[in-house]
Amino acid sequence: MPPTARIYRGTPGNLKLLARQLRAGRLVAVPTETVYGLAADATSAAACRRIFAAKGRPATDPLIVHIAGLRDLARVAFANPAALKLARRFWPGPLTIILPKTAAIPDAATAGLPSVAVRMPAHPLFRRLIRLAGVPLAAPSANPFGYVSPTTSAHVQRSLGRKIGHILEGGPARIGLESTIIDLRDPRRPVLRRPGAVTRQELARALGLPVRTSRKAAGPGAQVAPGQLKRHYSPRTPVVLHDALTKRVVDQGGPGDAWLFLAKPGWIRGRAKPGSVFWLDAAGDLGRASRRLFAALREMDEGGYRRIHAERPRGPGLAEALADRLRRAAAR
């Protein structure tokens, strides 16, 4: 059976149509600069529950609420000066801030917790859609729960096309990793809950405070932020992490093994690339590697390999975010 979801170009007429769908409580997959999201009216408990049902997402994993402008923040959360400082510095952009929630956001969106994760996305089509809908939009990644996040509309259609009806086309995701999440419920003790394109170092400089990193895997109860499970962002094919991949390691691999390098291996220069060898960026640029990561994992997952061997990124900044996604993809 072919996918049923229709992909809509971002025309004014289509945006109005999709805004009506959202106001009616239906789901729309949307482009963001991070990954594609599955959007619904964040003020409607019934609409939020439809997100959980379509993704197979546990109710203990909260949703991120998206707003179109800074003046909308007061509708969904109680902001403190530290949160406003970061919002003015990094919004619109790939930063999510955890704050106490207002009554406008139902418990269904926040795993029953009194806090909410809020972001103002940078993708112009998504922000236009939020304004037309007239409500904040909850939008986790538009994929089955726990699987590799989608960075194109085609990824969404292949994985959720039979469960949703509407996908807004916005081109490939510019960043390719989910947003950074910082917990500012206590502004004196900021905690990085998920690394992303806005780095821990940038957050610390903006706040004038050290930002502690939360490395504890989520337990069985309600989570403060999404993306905290030990295993997440995972292909079906087992992933094995290596501190370094070399030609010798590849040569010792077994049949059905695939190899994912950060940069193009030097030993491939001047010779045909083995079909089981992949790299995220020829020069190892971390920005381009981030954009490529999830698409590469999907490609390898669909290639019939027995195992995926991946090189572990090292260092601060984007390397921390890439390492986080690969560590969760490899967890068992």
Same domain for 164 and 82?
yes
Among 96, 131, 135, 134, residue whose Cα is nearest residue 116: 96
CA distance 263 to 248: 16
Residue at a domain's end among 151, 178, 213: 213
195 and 296 in a single domain? The answer is no
Is the CB of residue 62 less than 8 Å from the CB of residue 109? yes
Tokens 């926040």, residue located: 110
In angstroms, the CA 70 to CA 63 distance is: 19
- Structural domain count, the chain: 2
Residue 78 confidence (pLDDT) above 60 = yes
Indicate if 114 and 247 belong to the same structural domain: no
- Answer whether residue 221 is part of any domain: no
Summarised one tens digit per residue, pLDDT across range 159-213 is 999 999 999 999 999 999 999 999 999 999 999 999 999 999 999 999 999 999 9
Q: Which domain holds residue 259?
A: 239-330
Whether residue 234 lies inside any domain: the answer is no
| Whole-number Cα distances in Å, 200 to 79, 191, 197, 289, 324 | 20, 9, 9, 19, 13
Residue 62 and residue 96 in one domain = yes
| Residues 272 and 179 both lie in one domain | no
Residue where a domain stops, chosen among 213, 228, 254: 213
* pLDDT per residue as tens digits for the range 245-273: 999 999 888 889 999 999 999 888 765 56
Residue 224 domain-assigned (yes or no): no
Shared domain check, 272 and 192: no
In a domain, 231, yes or no: no
Element (H, E) at 46: helix 45-55
Q: Is 202 helix (H, G, I), strand (E, B) or coil?
A: helix
Q: Could you tell me if 140 and 190 lie in one domain?
A: yes
Instruction: Please report, rounded to a whole number, the percentage of residues in the chain having pLDDT higher than 70.
Output: 96
Are 261 and 199 in a shared domain? no
End-to-end Cα, the chain, rounded Å: 32
Say yes or no: 173 and 40 in one domain.
yes
Taking each helix axis from N to C end, the angle separating 81-90 and 200-207, rounded to the nearest 10 degrees, works out to 120
pTM: 0.95
Q: What confidence score (pLDDT) does residue 4 get?
A: 82
Same structural domain for residues 198 and 244?
Answer: no
* pLDDT tens column, 206-238: 999 999 998 665 566 889 999 888 888 999 999
Residue 230 to residue 236: CA distance in whole angstroms: 15
Pairing of strands 307-311, 257-263: parallel
